[in-house]
Amino acid sequence: MKIKKYLTLTRAGIIESLQFRLSMLVMVIGNLLYLIVIYFLWKAIYASADSDVVNGMTFSDTLIYLVLATALFNFMEMYTVWQIGRDIQSGKIVLDLVKPIDYRRYIFWSFSGSFVTNFLFTFLPTFIVVTAVTHGAIHMGLNLLYFVVSVVLAIMINYSIDFIVATICLYTESIWGINMMKQVIVLLLSGATVPLAFFPDTLRNVVDHLPFQAIYNAPLTLLLDGDPDMKDVCITLGTQLAWCVGMFIVSKLFWKCSIKQITVNGG
Amino acid sequence: MKEIIRINHITKEFKVLNRREGLKGSIKDLFSRDYKIVRAVDDISMSIQQGEIVGYLGPNGAGKSTTIKMMTGVLEPTSGEILVDGNVPYKNRSKNAQNIGVVFGQRSQLWWALPLIESFRLLKDVYQIEDKQYNSIIELYKSLVDIEPLLHKPVRQMSLGQRTLSDILAAFLHDPKIVFLDEPTIGLDVSMKAKIRKLISALNKEKNTTVILTTHDMGDVDALCRRIVIIDKGKMLYDNDIEHLKSFFGSYRTLKIRVDGDLKAQSEVIQKEVPDFAVSADDEWISILVDEDKKKVMDVLNQIQSSHSIKDMKLEEISSEDVIRKIYEEGVE
């Protein structure tokens, strides 16, 4: 009975995102343009390199990774910070705070509908096209299962980070700069824009100890590794789970402390 | 009657940065620790019974919304105690949420892109409303307003009046014990205002829901509220029946008459006949401000009639708007 409370929000999210057909189309086109840029950029990088394999990755490895990273970004990015930030500025947050659902969960489940539609309309087509074009460069086996589990964990880590950043907005009452900074940091350090294999060793070492790599690098590594070693899989998923729990606790506590001292705008 | 809200000496203070002017000042502000304490609500106490409609009035910035936010559990009072149906709102926000409904005239809780019926279904699940209860309230709504055409219309395509009406229905959907209406008729046309007042009054009677209404429209107050509470600068100025508010300033009524001859000259004559009251004249009427504690209006009229031939007359109450403006401007004393 209780889960219905949340699934109804998912359902509304799906209906809502289907209302905006044009915006979906624009998103797909924007994506294509981005992918074309990536293609030529990395082609140039590989052309200027001495060998076909750079940092242990071939051109097609890199491209598959980045295309899937982009697709993953499109369905995981929830724009939570924008949403919460706008609600704080306009004072609409009051209406959500007086609902009999914990605010963190409420926002998460409200966005969950767009996961479903974005997964079906952007990630899945991209994945199928990549599989078809590369003739089986992506191994079809247990790695798909690991990938799904890993993505679920990644979504939760990503949400917790977003929520922490959104909570900071309660204090600053401005969103733009903070959100930009968050986006750049997350996309870079998670391996969404440049595969982590290309990072210099010292930076790589630092990044490995941050939660961001668990968002994009972890699921993509699990997906693209055709012959996964059980130990590596466990370590990757275990690390993700640890970050998931850790960030969850941090975001929850931070919210709990912050909500006490909010001053909601408007009269 | 059962007490539903109890407020004991609550105070709410905000810490506000003292801002300086200009570019230089703004840069200095980045490092400033110069805060001042603003007391938005200052020692307010009241008790509200189940089923009452209370008009919660005060000029802009008086602290009305802050008090309401404390009752809904969004803000925590700096000191003092609030009990809403036995719960401390900010400590038990979720439980309190089941008991209250909220409408802010300028914002909507409805799902913007979805037809109204979808928002209702969502709220049904979020508030875990039983099917039977849900169906019966929808039936009630259908009997009160013509919602059929609204149900399948996306909220973003509604007019402001339709949206406000829908928001009010949404707030009552889970049969809350208390509904907070914050300026529900703001920006609406006369006929929509009347419709909304009728709806609120009907729902209050039908469900015995307690309604706390903040508004700047005295028409709302006159149509709906028996009791009004007025605050200004965070302090309570008045808490009593609306009738009492008028007598509070003496039981004045304005008697307006028209007589033969020049009104200006006649008014001076009448002034001599009724020396206790102020008499004035404009192009149309001679106005006599009668204090009924001293003399009944009928007696005054009789007295004047014995010496003048009255062509026309009318009697005007002092409106609550006049009284409240007087309170806002001059205070209670």
At A152-208, the pLDDT tens digits run: 999 999 999 999 998 888 787 778 888 888 889 998 999 888 898 889 999 999 999
Considering the entire predicted model, what is its pTM?
0.82
- Using the beta-carbon criterion (under 8 Å), do A101 and B126 form an inter-chain contact? yes
Strands of the sheet with B252-259, listed across from one edge:
B278-281, B286-291, B252-259, B310-317
Average pLDDT for B173-195 = 92
- Residue that has been written with the tokens 């309604």 in this structure: B211
Average pLDDT for B132-138 = 94
Beta bridge partners of B254: B289, B316
Q: Does B131 touch chain A (CB under 8 A)?
A: no
Whether B131 has a pLDDT exceeding 50, the answer reads yes
Confidence of residue A267 (pLDDT cuts 50, 70, 90): very low
Q: What pLDDT does A1 receive?
A: 52
- Using the beta-carbon criterion (under 8 Å), do A91 and B107 form an inter-chain contact? yes
Strands of the sheet with B210-214, listed across from one edge:
B100-104, B178-182, B210-214, B53-57, B227-232, B235-241
User: Which contiguous run of DSSP H or E holds residue A127?
Assistant: helix A124-133
Which is higher by pLDDT, B236 or A135?
A: B236
Q: Does B38 touch chain A (CB under 8 A)?
A: no
Instruction: State the sign of the Cα–Cα–Cα–Cα dihedral A44, A49, A52, A58.
Output: negative
Identify the residue among B56, B69, B110 best suited for mutation to test binding to A, counting A beta carbons within 10 A and taking the highest: B69
Q: Among the listed ranges A141-150, A238-247, B238-247, B323-332, which one has the minimum average pLDDT value?
A: B323-332
DSSP string computed for A148-168 = HHHHHHHHHHHHHHHHHHHHH
Q: Which of A9-23, A244-258, B279-293 has the highest average model confidence (pLDDT)?
A: A244-258
- Residue that has been written with the tokens 């409805």 in this structure: B110
Identify the residue among A9, A19, A83, A98 best suited for mutation to test binding to B, counting B beta carbons within 10 A and taking the highest: A98
Residue A51 and residue A69: Cα distance in Å, rounded? 24
- Using the beta-carbon criterion (under 8 Å), do B126 and A15 form an inter-chain contact? no
Q: Does B92 touch chain A (CB under 8 A)?
A: no
* CA B242 to the chain's CA centroid: 11
Identify residues of A whose CB sits under 8 angstroms from chain B CBs.
1, 4-5, 7-9, 12, 15-16, 19-20, 90-92, 94-95, 97-102, 260, 262-264, 266-267
Q: Does B12 touch chain A (CB under 8 A)?
A: no
Average pLDDT for B107-133 = 92
Residue A205 and residue A217: Cα distance in Å, rounded? 14
- Supply B305's token pair: 């009639």
Whether A113 has a pLDDT exceeding 70, the answer reads yes
| Structural domains of chain B in order of their starting residue, each with its CATH number | 3-8+42-245 (3.40.50.300), 251-317 (3.30.70.260)
Beta-carbon contacts of residue A230 (< 8 Å; ≥ 6 apart): none
Residues of A in contact with B95 (CB under 8 A): 100
* CA dihedral angle for residue A131, residue A134, residue A137, residue A138, rounded to 10 degrees: -10
Distance from CA of B125 to the nearest CA of A (A): 5
Which is higher by pLDDT, B93 or B81?
A: B81
Which is higher by pLDDT, A47 or B319?
A: A47
Distance from CA of B286 to the nearest CA of A (A): 43
For chain B, count helices (H), then strands (E): 13, 13
If phi over 0 gives left and psi between -120 and 50 gives alpha, with beta otherwise, what is residue A191?
Answer: left
Q: Does B73 touch chain A (CB under 8 A)?
A: yes
| Helix intervals (H) in A20-102 | 21-48, 59-76, 80-90, 93-97
Residues of A in contact with B113 (CB under 8 A): 16, 19-20
Q: Does B125 touch chain A (CB under 8 A)?
A: yes
Whether A266 has a pLDDT exceeding 50, the answer reads no
